[in-house]
Amino acid sequence: MSNNFNLGIASAQSSNPLPSWNNGTAKQKIIEFVEEAIDQSSPNYVKPSDRIATFDQDGTLWVEHPFYTQGIFALDRVKILAPEHPEWQNQEPFKTILENNQEAISQFTEKELVEIIAATHAGITTKAFIKIVKDWLTTAKHPRFDKLYTELIYQPMLELMQYLRENDFKTYIVTGGGQEFVRTYSEDIYGIPPEQVIGSSIVTEYEYQDGEPVLMRKPQVFFINDHAGKPTGINLFIGKQPSIAVGNSDGDREMLEYTQAGNGKRLMILVHHDDPIREYAYGPSDNLPDTKVGRFSNELMDSAKQRDWIIISMKQDWKQIFPF
If binding is defined by CB under 8 A, does position 239 make contact with its own copies?
Answer: yes
The contact pattern for its own copies, residues 58-97, with x = CB under 8 A and - = no contact, is: ----------------------------------------
Does residue 12 touch its own copies according to CB under 8 A?
no
Whether 241 contacts 264, CB under 8 Å:
no
Our finding on whether 183 is near its own copies (CB under 8 A) is yes
Tell the smallest beta-carbon distance from residue 305 to its own copies (Å).
Answer: 18
The answer to whether 281 touches 289, Cβ cutoff 8 Å, is yes
Q: Binding its own copies by CB under 8 A: which of 261, 290, 298, 323?
A: 261
Instruction: Answer yes or no whether residue 254 interacts with its own copies by CB under 8 A.
Output: yes
Task: Determine contact, residues 246/56, Cβ cutoff 8 Å.
Answer: yes
| Binding of residue 237 to its own copies (CB under 8 A) | yes
- What three-state secondary structure class fits 130? helix
| Closest to 241 (Cα-Cα) out of 304, 311, 182, 172 | 172
Cβ proximity to its own copies, 32 vs 299, nearer residue: 299
Q: How does DSSP classify residue 274?
A: B
φ, ψ at 227 (rounded to 5°): 50, -125
| Measured distance CA(306)–CA(295) in Å, rounded | 19
* Residue 262: how many other CB atoms lie within 10 Å: 15
Q: Does 231 bind its own copies (CB under 8 A)?
A: yes
Site map 184..203 versus its own copies, x via CB under 8 A: ---x-----xxx-x---x--
Task: Output 80 or 236, the one with its CB closest to its own copies.
Answer: 236
Non-local (6+) Cβ contacts of 250 within 8 A are 227, 295, 296, 297, 299, 300
78 in Cβ contact with 98 (< 8 Å): yes
Residue 206 binds its own copies (CB under 8 A): yes
Q: How far apart are CA 306 and CA 301, in angstroms?
A: 9
Q: Which stretch binds its own copies (CB under 8 A): 15-23, 146-154, 210-218, 293-301?
A: 210-218
Q: How near is the Cβ of 124 to its own copies at its closest, in Å?
A: 14
| Residue 212 in contact with its own copies, rule: CB under 8 A | yes
**Strands 212-223 and 197-209, bridge-based pairing:** antiparallel
Q: Of 113, 228, 288, 293, which one interacts with its own copies (CB under 8 A)?
A: 228
Which positions lie near its own copies, rule CB under 8 A? 1-2, 5, 49, 126, 170, 179-180, 183, 187, 193-195, 197, 201, 204-206, 212-213, 215, 228-229, 231-232, 235-240, 254, 257-258, 261
